[in-house]
Amino acid sequence: GEEQLRDGGLHRRRVVVLFSLPFHGHLNPTLKLAALLRARGLAVTVLHTDFNAPDPARHPGLAFVPIHETPLQDTAVSPDSDILAKLLALNAAIAAPFRQALASLQDAVACAVVDGQCYAAMDAAGELGVPVLALRTDSAAALRNMLAIPRLRDAGYLPFKGKQTKKEQLDEPAPGLEPLRVRDLIRVDGCDTDELCGFVTSVADAVRASVSGIVFNTFEAIEAPELAKIQRELSLPAFAVGPLHLLSQTPPPAEQSLHAPDRGCLAWLDARTPRSVLYVSLGSLACVNRAVFEEMAWGLAGSGVPFLWVVRPGMVTGGAAGEEAPPPLPDGLEEKMRGRGKIVTWAPQREVLAHDAIGAFWTHCGWNSILESICEGVPMLVQPCFADQMVNARYVTHEWGVGMEVGEVIERERVAKAVTKLMVGEDGAWMRERARRLQVQASAATSLALDSLVQYILSL
Ligand code: UDX
């Protein structure tokens, strides 16, 4: 049972506390891990921000406690601010409230599993004497790259000077981070390199000072060497407990979603032939400018391939601030699509990827999207936008051979060519075959790592 008899009859439960930054791609895996720990008999309390608060009704068995963060600055939420600005603003807004909420929990805390991008929470828990595990919602390779950022800056690789750098230099291996090339290194366009290094140093310092282990939503079959390296580099145990959505067996409709999915697109897919449709989505945060958006649109329409495209309100930069309506399509596009294209503002992505009609996924390479695609055996067209997406794209195309690039420049003719190559060409067939093999390996991923995580938590 959860109740432990201590201190001469006083009942005090020992709970595991989880905390995630309020991003869609972080909350989802965190809540899945929470459910898995609960299913193994641990008492679990989820601390959360008011912004993007999870819905407790969807998560029976978990306790939810709001931390009431300090009011968020615009940079934390605006689609126009970069990911670094968001991370810094969120860390600042949660630091004191998180500490207070954790300190005032009535239960004894066995351990806090906190977002590995949230140095403020790692520090606060550490200062309170609570054992801390960092939950990374990205890959082990991405964390290795992130921790190397100050070294890469000192060696002159950052700030990234894409267009001013010779192609041969961009194609050189990134020192210590192979198979990454210089062009695949984590970057956030427009952000200040010193600020980026400051953020990374805060995370690294928090890990060194407070963390007893790292939990990854990844699995050995795709990242064994990276996991071994990160354990060595940090001298910490790493638990590869993914793919969390597969192991937690959460039925997709029961999933936490920050936007209402348009389920009508599933009926639209039902009317399509197997593997005929390209699914296109840039995740929950990435934005493109109007010119890129139009090239994507014309390229898709011109390819002749049926497609389902997620066009989020605010996804195209330069629109009116706080715009709720999705960006308008280019004039004349509907005519060119001839009913071959379906556009939604948010899709039930896992169900879409599992649908027979889907032949490939044009993705921004967010880590959740990649895991979901792999788990359904769907090959990918990669268009990384920022941060770990660059790293993920390299692994998809080069290490695992389950995808190809749309092209460095998004231009309609090239887009149409890449789409047809993947959907109907021989290369595409080969990548689909590789993706199927990875799917089998993913479904063979066991919960052994989770069992050892539970043992470790109980030993802390
Ligand atoms: C962010 C960062 O962008 C990414 O680099 C990092 O790896 C994780 O955090 P995000 O942009 O949200 O992630 O992308 P991703 O990790 O792919 O997560 C998106 C999630 O939203 C997926 O679980 C996907 O299934 C879901 N989704 C997306 C939908 O359910 N419907 C949609 O229409 C689009």
Alpha-carbon distances of 270 from 276, 305, 351, 424, rounded to whole Å: 11, 16, 12, 20
Alpha-carbon distances of 266 from 246, 269, 385, rounded to whole Å: 21, 5, 27
Contact 182, 172 (CB under 8 A): yes
Ligand 1 atom nearest residue 310's Cα: 33
- CA-nearest residue for atom 19, ligand 1, is 283
pLDDT at 5: 42
Contact 362, 275 (CB under 8 A): no
Of 225, 67, 173, whose CA–CA distance to 394 is shortest?
A: 173
Tell me if 373 CB under 6 Å of ligand 1.
no
Pocket-testing residue among 117, 216, 368, ligand 1, by greatest number of atoms within 8 A of Cβ: 368
* Distance, CA of 109 to CA of 88 (rounded, Å): 27
Per-residue pLDDT of the chain (460 residues), as tens digits, is: 344 444 433 445 789 999 999 999 999 999 999 999 999 999 999 999 999 999 999 999 999 999 999 999 999 998 889 999 999 999 999 999 999 999 999 889 999 999 999 999 999 999 999 999 999 999 999 999 999 999 999 999 998 888 788 989 999 999 999 999 999 999 998 899 999 999 999 999 999 999 999 999 999 999 999 999 999 999 999 999 999 999 998 888 777 777 899 999 999 999 999 999 999 999 999 999 999 999 999 999 999 999 999 999 999 988 765 567 889 999 999 999 889 999 999 999 999 999 999 999 999 999 999 999 999 999 999 999 999 999 999 999 999 999 999 988 999 999 999 999 999 999 999 999 999 999 999 999 989 999 999 999 999 9
* C-alpha neighbours within 13 Å on the C-beta side of residue 454: 16
| Dist. CA 286 → ligand 1 center (Å) | 9
Contact 341, 303 (CB under 8 A): no
- CA-nearest residue for atom 15, ligand 1, is 366
| Dist. CA 383 → ligand 1 center (Å) | 14
pLDDT at 357: 98
Partnered with residue 211 across adjacent β-strands are: 132
pLDDT at 253: 74
Contact 199, 84 (CB under 8 A): yes
Contact 52, 284 (CB under 8 A): no
| Dist. CA 298 → ligand 1 center (Å) | 24
pLDDT at 322: 58
Contact 286, 312 (CB under 8 A): no
pLDDT at 257: 79
Ligand 1 atom nearest residue 137's Cα: 8
- Whether 115 sits among the annotated catalytic residues: the reply is yes
Ligand 1 atom nearest residue 255's Cα: 30
- Cis omega before residue 243 (within 30°)? yes
| Dist. CA 24 → ligand 1 center (Å) | 7
| Dist. CA 372 → ligand 1 center (Å) | 10
Alpha-carbon distances of 249 from 39, 252, 266, rounded to whole Å: 12, 9, 20
- Residues written for the chain: 460
Of 110, 109, 133, whose CA–CA distance to 121 is shortest?
A: 133
- CA-nearest residue for atom 34, ligand 1, is 283
pLDDT at 320: 64
Tell me if 248 CB under 6 Å of ligand 1.
no
* Distance, CA of 433 to CA of 436 (rounded, Å): 5
- The tokens of 321 are what? 């601030």
- The tokens of 194 are what? 């010193």
Q: Which of 48, 59, 82, 115 is catalytic?
A: 115
- The tokens of 23 are what? 């991003």
Tell me the one-letter amino acid at 362.
W
* Distance, CA of 300 to CA of 343 (rounded, Å): 12
By three-state DSSP, how is residue 158 classified? coil
**DSSP letter assigned to residue 326:** P
* Distance, CA of 360 to CA of 276 (rounded, Å): 9
Tell me if 243 CB under 6 Å of ligand 1.
no
pLDDT at 6: 42
**DSSP letter assigned to residue 316:** B
The string of DSSP codes covering 338-359 is: TT-EEEESS--HHHHHHSTTEE
Contact 340, 304 (CB under 8 A): yes
